[in-house]
Amino acid sequence: MFKKRKHNWSVPHGQELTELDKKVLSFQNKGFLVPRRELIKTPEQIEGIRRSGVVNTGVLDLVEQEIHAGMSTADIDKLVYDYTTQHGAIPAPLNYEGFPKSVCTSINEVVCHGIPNENEILREGDIINVDVSTILDGYYSDASRMFIIGKTTPEKEKLVRVTKECLAIGAEAAKPYGFIGDIGKAIEKHAKRNGFSVVRDLCGHGVGLEFHEEPEVNHYNTHEKGMLLVPGMVFTIEPMINMGTWQVFIDEADGWTVVTEDELPSAQWEHTFVMTEHGLEVLTA
Ligand code: MF3
Ligand code: CO
């Protein structure tokens, strides 16, 4: 069997080719994987996602101010719900594929998708990821930060710091007319150098008109180029970095909570980015 070449970029019949069309088609004709043309956002759409990102950042700033030992993850959920709705927006996680709360709160060995709970109390030394996603006027944004509750161990502090560096290094590696594979390659290199591992079962994603769009953004080295990065693409980078093994499992009790196999800590940072002619620009800063 011959492999079929993927022709993702198709220009409507009779429409004149733009400079961008010509450039992407030349990659496609050489056999590179390119995005579907519909993944390229218009300037208006990018502005909409940026406005959504402003609310999303406001939520995270509020959580940063308020988070403290003794509060429950349900208290964080309430802060997120109230702030978001007061700003005319909707928390994207709420009822998303049955997710019951407005935000994901993932403590220590929880990798991601932790469900806020009034019986889950933050304690001194915990590290927690708060993952906030917002819909404003139909536009989605998505970002997460780590918070250290009081003072923690040097190892956990290093994990939080290195994970933040992984996000920055991955974003720096993403160049216009480079490839998605460049991102995970750079991230894995930095994680490994620091003695950590990269979660493989969850990835970043296109975002903007829906919560999760194409493409998938792997955070590890797939040894493949992956999709061409074209100005106008909007996607997240959200590396999950583990202190021990990269392997994870889903808690069967709730069907959501992702936990490290060895129950060692995990950290994650996330931003939504738009690719420009000069590189990535953050829409959730
Ligand atoms: N915010 C997560 C992400 O970064 C997705 C969470 S889905 C939810 O893609 F349903 F758990 F909220
Ligand atoms: Co995301």
Is 120's C-beta closer than 6 angstroms to any atom of ligand 1?
no
N-terminal to C-terminal alpha carbon distance within the chain: 48
Is 99's C-beta closer than 6 angstroms to any atom of ligand 1?
yes
Q: Is residue 240 part of a domain?
A: yes
- Predicted confidence band at 163 (pLDDT cuts at 50, 70, 90)? very high
Q: Is residue 118 part of a domain?
A: yes
Is 238's C-beta closer than 6 angstroms to any atom of ligand 1?
yes
What is the number of other CB atoms lying within 10 angstroms of the CB of residue 207? 24
* Residue 5: both structure tokens together: 């070449």
Q: Is residue 9 part of a domain?
A: no
CATH number at residue 86: 3.90.230.10
Q: Is residue 63 part of a domain?
A: yes
- Predicted confidence band at 248 (pLDDT cuts at 50, 70, 90)? very high
Q: Is residue 5 part of a domain?
A: no
Please state, in angstroms and rounded to a whole number, the distance separating the CA atoms of residues 57 and 284.
6
- Predicted confidence band at 6 (pLDDT cuts at 50, 70, 90)? confident
What pLDDT score was predicted for residue 197? 99
The answer to whether 198 and 239 have CB atoms below 8 angstroms apart is: yes
Ligand 1 nearest atom to the CA of residue 211, by list position: 9
The answer to whether 160 and 134 have CB atoms below 8 angstroms apart is: no
Please state, in angstroms and rounded to a whole number, the distance separating the CA atoms of residues 252 and 74.
21
**Helix count and strand count (H, E) for the chain:** 5, 15
List, for residues 13-46, the tens digit of each pLDDT value: 999 999 999 999 999 999 999 999 999 999 999 9
- What average pLDDT is seen over the chain? 98
Please state, in angstroms and rounded to a whole number, the distance separating the CA atoms of residues 220 and 187.
7
Is 96's C-beta closer than 6 angstroms to any atom of ligand 1?
yes
Give the residue, by CA position, lying nearest to ligand 1 atom 7: 93
The residue whose CB lies within 8 Å of the most ligand 1 atoms, and thus the one to mutate among 76, 117, 133, 219, is 133
Please state, in angstroms and rounded to a whole number, the distance separating the CA atoms of residues 102 and 207.
18
What is the number of other CB atoms lying within 10 angstroms of the CB of residue 157? 13
* Residue 202: both structure tokens together: 């969850």
Please state, in angstroms and rounded to a whole number, the distance separating the CA atoms of residues 240 and 243.
10
> Does the pLDDT at position 1 exceed 80?
no
C-alpha 69 to ligand 1 mean position (Å): 24
Is 111's C-beta closer than 6 angstroms to any atom of ligand 1?
no
- Predicted confidence band at 2 (pLDDT cuts at 50, 70, 90)? confident
SS3 state at 161? helix
Provide, rounded to the nearest whole percent, the portion of the chain with pLDDT above 70.
99
Give the residue, by CA position, lying nearest to ligand 1 atom 2: 131
The answer to whether 225 and 256 have CB atoms below 8 angstroms apart is: no
* Residue 165: both structure tokens together: 């560096």
Q: Is residue 3 part of a domain?
A: no
Q: Is residue 48 part of a domain?
A: yes
What pLDDT score was predicted for residue 228? 98
The parent domain of residue 92 ranges over 36-282
Per the document, the length of the chain is 285
Is 239's C-beta closer than 6 angstroms to any atom of ligand 1?
no
What pLDDT score was predicted for residue 173? 99
Q: Is residue 200 part of a domain?
A: yes
Is 213's C-beta closer than 6 angstroms to any atom of ligand 1?
no
What pLDDT score was predicted for residue 5? 67
Q: Looking at the 3D structure of the chain, how many domains does it have? A: 1
Among all bound ligands, the one having the nearest atom to the CA of 131 is 1
pTM above 0.95, yes or no: yes
List, for residues 186-229, the tens digit of each pLDDT value: 999 999 999 999 999 999 999 999 999 999 999 999 999 999 99
Is 77's C-beta closer than 6 angstroms to any atom of ligand 1?
no
Please state, in angstroms and rounded to a whole number, the distance separating the CA atoms of residues 197 and 178.
24
Please state, in angstroms and rounded to a whole number, the distance separating the CA atoms of residues 167 and 268.
9
C-alpha 271 to ligand 1 mean position (Å): 13
Is 129's C-beta closer than 6 angstroms to any atom of ligand 1?
no
Nearest alpha carbon to residue 226 among 281, 163, 173: 173
